[in-house]
Amino acid sequence: MIATINNFQVDLSKPIDISIPLSNTDANPIAWYIEKPVIEPVQFGEWIGKVSSGMSSTNFNNITFNPHGHGTHTECLGHITRNFYSINQSLKQFFFTAELVSIELEDQKGDFIVTKEALFNALDGKSPEAIVIRTLPNDTTKLSRKYSHTDPPFMTEDAALYLRESGIQHLLIDLPSVDKEKDEGKLLAHKAFWNVTDVNTLNSDARVEATITEMIYVPDAIPDGSYLLNLQIASFENDASPSKPVLYSMRNI
């Protein structure tokens, strides 16, 4: 199916899924000191909700997981505020122009970071609604990496501020967080991107509709450039939801 959007043709039959699937196996990526997800059939006494058990006509599983620690997820500013804000209420549109950029991480006193300068050079004057950041080096271990206590790469405060000032509403990245793993709760990049100055009392110009999506994976075979992004979430009334960002190539008419 070919769609025409703002003088671009988009082939909707060729989606590029950049999410990481959630499973109850050791292959599932993990961050923030938790164990792997649990997916198991409901049990009532001796009855098991699993067709192969011979007791049930359906598979009937409970799933226990954490959206922030178990894979691709999209979060709103409610992730860092005292008052409750829901991703389901914050994200009301789901298609956006997006720029996929590959960013070489910079070693800064042992920390590997995404800098403002790298983002400025990668965007090269473009101002998409969303940015998709593939950090380099990039390999398939990101699909199953165990991030806890490893001090993963992160984004600097001024890099996040630059994205906000560029008008980018949706930030997607292949790291477990835009902030440093152990930063004494400062969360400088989150606050800069959402324009949150006080987590107790939200300022009037805080970006309630902006989102951050973490723990994506973009294979090397997908070239940098402009795409149409479909940012799909589950309808959780929570600060974050597991998500399925999908890219579509765009071609000038």
Q: Does the pTM exceed 0.75?
A: yes
Rounded to the nearest 10 degrees, the angle between the axes of helix 157-165 and helix 116-123 is 30
What pLDDT, on the 0 to 100 scale, is given for residue 8? 78
The conformation of residue 30, written as its DSSP 8-state character, comes to B
Domain boundaries of the chain, sorted by first residue: 2-22+67-252
The Cα 80–Cα 77 span in angstroms is 6
What pLDDT, on the 0 to 100 scale, is given for residue 214? 98
**Residue 193 and residue 160 in contact, taking contact as beta carbons nearer than 8 Å:** yes
Decide: helix, strand or coil at residue 178.
coil
Tens place of pLDDT per residue across the chain (253 aa): 777 777 778 989 999 999 999 999 999 999 999 999 999 999 999 999 999 999 999 999 999 999 999 999 999 999 999 999 999 999 999 999 999 999 999 999 999 999 999 999 999 999 999 999 999 999 999 999 999 999 999 999 999 999 999 999 999 999 999 999 999 999 999 999 999 999 999 999 999 999 999 999 999 999 999 999 999 999 999 999 999 999 999 887 7
Could you count the other beta carbons within 10 Å of the beta carbon of residue 214? 23
What type of residue is 173?
A: I
What pLDDT, on the 0 to 100 scale, is given for residue 252? 77
The Cα 212–Cα 210 span in angstroms is 7
Architecture of the structural domain at 2-22+67-252:
3-Layer(bba) Sandwich (3.50)
Which tokens is 228 given?
């149409």
What pLDDT, on the 0 to 100 scale, is given for residue 251? 83
**Residue 99 and residue 131 in contact, taking contact as beta carbons nearer than 8 Å:** yes
The owner of tokens 């198991």 is 40
